[in-house]
Every structure is written in C-alpha cells, then in structure tokens.
Amino acid sequence: MQETVRALSAVFLSFLLLLLANGILTIAAADLYIPNSVLFGYFFCASFVICGYRIMVKTLYQDDDLNVNAANVIIYGAEPKGSLMQKTIVGISDRQFRVVAFIDENEMLTGKTIDGIRIYTPEQLPELLKPLRVKYLFFSKPDITAQTKNSIAEVCLAANVKLMNIPAVDRWVDGHLSFNQISDVQIEELLGRPAIELSNDNVFRFMSDKTVLITGAAGSIGSELARQVAAMRPASLILCDQVETGLHDLDYELQEKYNLGSSLVCFLGDVKDSPAMDQLFSTHRPEIVFHAAAYKHVPVMESHPSEAIRNNVLGTKVLADLSEFYGVEKFLFISTDKAINPTNIMGASKRIAEMYCHSLHHTGKDFQLIDPLVYRIDSMLGKTKFITTRFGNVLASNGSVIPRFKDQITKGGPVTVTHPDIIRYFMTIPEACSLVLEAMTMGNGGEIFLFDMGEPVKILSLAQKMIKLAGYEPDKQIKIEFTGLRPGEKLYEELLNDQEEVIPTHHKKILKAKVQKNNDSVMDEITKLIDLANECRDEEVVKQMKFIVPEYISNNSVYQLYDTKALPQVTVAKSV
C-alpha cells in the first residue's frame, strides 16, 4: 500500500502540473497545448504501468527469495489482521515458514482469501494437512476455547503437525512480533476446561473487609489463593508457611503487584507448632482461615506415616482448635480425592483430618488446645463454620506429573509412567482456588464441596500428547517406560465413598457431599493417633489409622498386613 500511494502520488502530481500548464497555454491562446483527454489517458496508463511494474518486481523478488525448504504453516485465526500476521511470520522466520492456509470458524470468511491464501473452516482441517504438507499450525486467536484448541490439537498431533502460539497483536513489542514470542502450545492449554463462573461480587463483598489467613501459602494452591485474595483487598492478609524462600518470593510479588503495605503479613512457622500458631492467632486474630498446608506426595508419606499424621492431622487439629478458640468465622480445609476410599498413608491422613473438622463442627465438648494449658471454650463452640473442599490433581503444581514429564522430555527421555491404565482427574490451579473462594462464601459449616472434574485423563495418553507437543514421536524419538505402581498408589481416584450422597448446589459445577456423622469417639481416637505419631510408632500409627478409617485398604504397600475388618484399639502412652 505504501508503494502504491507513493507511485500514485507522483503520477497525480505530474498530472496536476500538466493540467495547470495546459490551462495556462489555453488562456494564452497558444497553439501548443495537450488535449485533456490525452492527459487523463496518461494518468490512468501511467498509474497502471508504474504500480504494476513495482508489484511485479516485488512479487518476482519474493518468489525468488523464498526458501525451497520452508515449512508450510496454517494460521488459526484469519481476522482481523490475517495479512499482517502472514507477512510477519514469513519475515521474522527469515522465510523459513510459508503460510499455505488460514482456518477460522467465522462462516462469513469461508472461501475468501487473504493475499491469495484461502480461508477454511475447522472441519476442513483434517483434509488439508496431508495435501498441503503442513508442518506447523499457529494459533493467533487469543480467545479460542480449550475445548476447540484440544480438538484442533488432536487432529494436528495425529498428523505430526507441531502446534505454536502467537501472542495477540497488542502484546507485540512496539508493534513488532519477535520470533521469541512464538511459543509452543503447552499441555495445560489442552487439559483446561471452560473457566468456572463464580459469584465474584459475592466473593469480593465477603472477603474485602476480612482478616484472612492462608497456611501453606508458598505452595501451588496457597500462592494462587493468596494472589486471588490479595486482588480483593482484604483488611489484612496473613501468609503462613515454613518455606522461607517461597514465602519471601510471594511477599515480594504481592507487594509489587498490589502494594498492600502493612496489610500483608508473612509468618514463618510450622502449622503443627502449637505455641507459634497460638502467637499468630492471638496477634493477628484472623476471621477467615484457608488451610492449604499439607504433605501430599504419596510415596514419601508411605515411608513416613508418623510425620504424615503430625503434619496433616496434628497441623489441622492445631489450626482448627485455635480457630474455634479465637472465634474464627469460617475455616476451610483443602482436602484431596485421595481421601476417598484411601489406599495410602497420605490419603488416609487427609480423610482423618476431614473427620476431625467435621466432628469439631458438630461437637460441644471441651478439648485440650495447647499442652499443658487447657482452655474451656463452651461459649465459642459452634461459632466457627468448618468447610472442606476435595480436589483432584492440579496442573503444573510442584512435584506433579506434568512438570516431571516436561523435564524428562527435555532430557531426551525416557518418560516414566507407573501403569498403562492409570487415570487421574485434572484441574487448573486458578480453577481450584476459585472453587475454594466460592466454597468459603457459600458454606454454612459441616459441608464437603466437590468440583465437577470433567472427564478423567489417561496418564499414558497425557505422556504421548506431551511428547508430540514437543515435536517428537513417542516410543521412537522419546521412549515411554512403565515403572509399576508406587507404594500406596491406585489406578483411579474417586470423589465419594459408598456412604456419601451428592447434593446439587446453586452452581452446576459445584456439588456437596452429604456425609454421615462420625462416631462420637472419633476425636478421642484421633488424639490417640496423634500421640502415637509423636512417639514415632509407625506400625501402631497405621493400625490406628485403619481403625479410624475402616475403608482405608492399603495398595501395593507393606501395610497391607494390617488390613482387617476389625482392628484392636492401641494402648498409647499419654504425651507430656
């Protein structure tokens, strides 16, 4: 367009000058003048010849300069700047890419062309890949849904077409796209589902004037929860964790982004350290508690049952008791789907922590808060609303399967999968935290909230897809090895046990489990369990866990020896 404007401007200027000269000659009654019809003919002919010549030269130059080995590319998203996108991709790649087609779901564009490149519908994609010898597909539409992206990816990966993302035009640096800004499509983009729709106004109103405590704040769930809560400008936000570096980094991030000042408090401490937690509660008086601190790795906890109980059960008990004592309004415990019909120490410990919170919500008896002090809190009992949420696996969390697969692929393999039939439910970290906030707002105490996790994901298929996304062929360039189920691991997870019923809520993606009331003696049994854990009596700890949670049946574990329908109670030496 710039070449055309310059050429037409030059021709038009000469045309005006000739018209002016012709007018002067006509007024002077001179015999020498050019007929106006000739001038107009000159204008159109000169415009056509000059512009056509320049276009021809540029076209021939571009065709000669094309790399014969350039990879054929399809761009998903033809509007509004498809032509700009096409030229930019060819330019920044030093002509290593050649755009051969556009894909767009807008039916009004189907069959049209951009710079001679045809626009097709997504349904036509499978029949284009082989004839056009496509090597890459670039996603240029930022608002494409995960479902659509996943369906496109299935077609492309089956044909060994690599998927890439192009950032939105408004994210280009100074209006120019850098080759470094083109990134690989990540597996999280394909596993994600439509974002959960929350009552954001209700959540904001509920959280904005509260003093909020988040334990495990340096972890994957805790840190994202802190980000979402910080955006709501609570009266005070207290972040508790025993990981110094992670807590420091989160503090720096939130202060830089939200400038919370003194309303953001970082507390370095261990949730099972009663005096430290008592200091936290007595000093800051939280009104809302999100308890995300926990040990979560199944194989590690299978080797350390006492520590699993101390952190996951005792830590929950300490925080729940303090919340009751100091009159916390709501206490939300983040559990896991591994707590249902548990087959490992970790899942069983989280189930016992669930049972303690549920019992504490309904009990009215006194209990020991911090040894050796005993607080009578009859006036406080029943005022704290204890709520539980159960999650599946969260994408890209610390130590989860996806970061491990990425690391193994980067190193050239092999990618290790425990079992060819193992499946898991996945959700994104923002989804999980949104559920937590919604559950905190809607919960009245005593509930266990579940999330509609969608379809389960086969881990073997996940590994194969990640290898293809990285541009390799599974079992050829990157090997997949099966290592066998780890101690305590099972093939699939559940969200309900046989004694629980599902009750719908006002949100179609959030369900509530109707849980049977625990045995009246469960709190005493949990106290015995904690005493055993404090004495590091691992075998007795496991026996007591199986007594408290009869559905806890070990799988692929040394503790299968203790799986009986009825286990004798264990005599415990009283802690001092």
CATH label of the domain that carries residue 312? 3.40.50.720
- Pair (61, 93) in one structural domain: no
Residue at 532 is within a domain:
no
Please give the pLDDT value at position 250: 95
Arithmetic mean of pLDDT, 121-126? 89
Q: How far is residue 154 from each of residues 158, 462, 468, 556, measured CA to CA in Å?
A: 6, 12, 10, 35
Pick the residue with more confidence: 82 or 158? 158
50-76 mean pLDDT? 74
Enzyme catalytic residues: 338
Judge contact between 384 and 328, C-beta under 8 A: yes
Split at pLDDT 50, 70, 90, the class of 329 is very high
Of 28-37, 251-260, 560-569, the range with the highest mean pLDDT is: 251-260
Residue 201: pLDDT band with limits 50, 70, 90: confident
* Whether pLDDT at 168 is above 80: no
Residues 6+ apart with CB under 8 A from 442: 449, 505, 506, 507, 510
Helix residue spans in 259-314 (DSSP H): 274-284, 298-303, 305-308
- Taking Cα atoms as reference points, which of 122, 76, 126, 121 lies closest to residue 99? 76
Mean pLDDT (the chain) is 82
Question: What is the pLDDT, as a whole number, of residue 170?
Answer: 62
The tokens describing 82, both together, are: 């498809």
Query: By CB neighbour count within 10 A (0-12 exposed, 13-18 middle, 19+ buried), where does 185 fall?
Result: buried
Average pLDDT over residues 321-332: 93
206 and 161 part of one domain = no
Residue 271 makes CB contacts below 8 A (sequence gap 6+) with 215, 216, 240, 242, 277, 291, 293, 311, 315, 316, 318, 319
Residue 571 has pLDDT above 50, yes or no: no
Residue 552 lies in a domain: no
| Domain stops at, among 483, 514, 545 | 514
3-state percent helix, strand, coil for the chain, nearest multiple of 5 = 45, 15, 40
**In this model, does residue 374 exceed pLDDT 50?**
no
Sheet holding 134-139, edge to edge: 113-114, 117-120, 97-103, 71-76, 134-139, 162-165, 183-184
Pick from 61-65, 278-282, 346-350: least confident: 61-65
- Please indicate, yes or no, if residue 244 is contained in any of the structural domains: yes
Separation between Cα atoms, residue 122 and residue 134, nearest integer Å:
15
Distance CA 1, CA 8 (A): 10
Q: Quick one: pLDDT at residue 197? A: 55
Which of 64-73, 332-341, 423-432 is predicted with the least confidence, judged by mean pLDDT? Answer: 64-73
The token pair at 458 is 């086969």
Question: For residue 504, is pLDDT > 70?
Answer: no
In a domain, 542, yes or no: no
Residue 212 has pLDDT above 80, yes or no: yes
Give the closest residue to 368 by CA, choosing from 274, 459, 233.
274
Boundary of a domain, candidates 65, 88, 107: 65
- Average pLDDT for 297-302: 92
pLDDT band of residue 8 (cuts 50, 70, 90) is confident
Residue 425 has pLDDT above 70, yes or no: yes
Mark whether 509 and 429 lie in a shared domain: yes
The SS3 of residue 381 is coil
Average pLDDT over residues 98-114: 84
Whether 138 maps to a domain, the answer reads yes
Alpha-carbon gap, residue 268 to 257, rounded angstroms: 22
Number of domains into which the chain is organized: 3
Q: Write down the pLDDT at residue 63.
A: 55
Query: Are 293 and 388 within one domain?
Result: yes
Q: Are 448 and 354 in contact (CB under 8 A)?
A: yes
Q: Residues 75, 58: one domain?
A: no
Judge if 173 and 86 occupy the same domain.
yes
Distance between alpha carbon 358 and the CA centroid of its chain, in Å? 29
Q: Which pLDDT score, from 0 to 100, does residue 511 have?
A: 77
Residue 340 near residue 384, CB atoms below 8 Å: no
Q: What band does 365 get if pLDDT is binned at 50, 70 and 90? A: very low
Residue keyed to tokens 């769930």: 221
Question: Average of pLDDT values for 128-138?
Answer: 89
- Mean pLDDT within 68-87: 75
Share of the chain above pLDDT 70, in %: 81
Same domain, 42 and 105: no
Q: Which pLDDT band holds residue 381 (cuts at 50, 70, 90)? A: very low
Q: Is residue 521 part of a domain?
A: no
Instruction: Compute the CA torsion angle 302, 307, 312, 315 (nearest 10 deg).
Output: 180
Asked if residue 88 and residue 61 are part of one domain, the reply reads no
- Reply yes or no on whether the pLDDT at 364 is more than 60: no
Query: Is 259 inside a domain boundary?
Result: yes
**Looking at the structure, do residues 255 and 146 belong to the same domain, yes or no?**
no
Is pLDDT above 90 for 453? no
Give me the domain span that covers residue 148: 71-185
Region at 351 (left for phi over 0; alpha for psi -120 to 50; beta for the rest): alpha
Do both 121 and 210 map to the same domain?
no
Domain boundary among 494, 514, 534: 514
Asked if residue 570 belongs to a domain, the reply is: no
Domain co-membership, 412 together with 496: yes
Q: What is the pLDDT of residues 520-567, one digit of tens each?
A: 788 899 999 999 999 999 999 999 999 999 989 998 888 888 886 544
Closest CA to 105 of 72, 140, 131, 135: 140
Helix (H) or strand (E) holding 449: strand 448-451
- The pTM (predicted TM-score) of the whole model is 0.75
Phi, psi (5° rounding) for residue 176? -120, 140
Confidence of residue 508 (pLDDT cuts 50, 70, 90): low
- What are the angstrom distances between the C-alpha of 88 and each of 68, 75, 85, 544? 19, 12, 5, 66
Claim to verify: residue 291 and residue 263 sit in the same structural domain: yes
Q: What is d(CA 381, CA 97) in angstroms, rounded to the nearest whole number? A: 68
Higher pLDDT, 245 or 199: 245
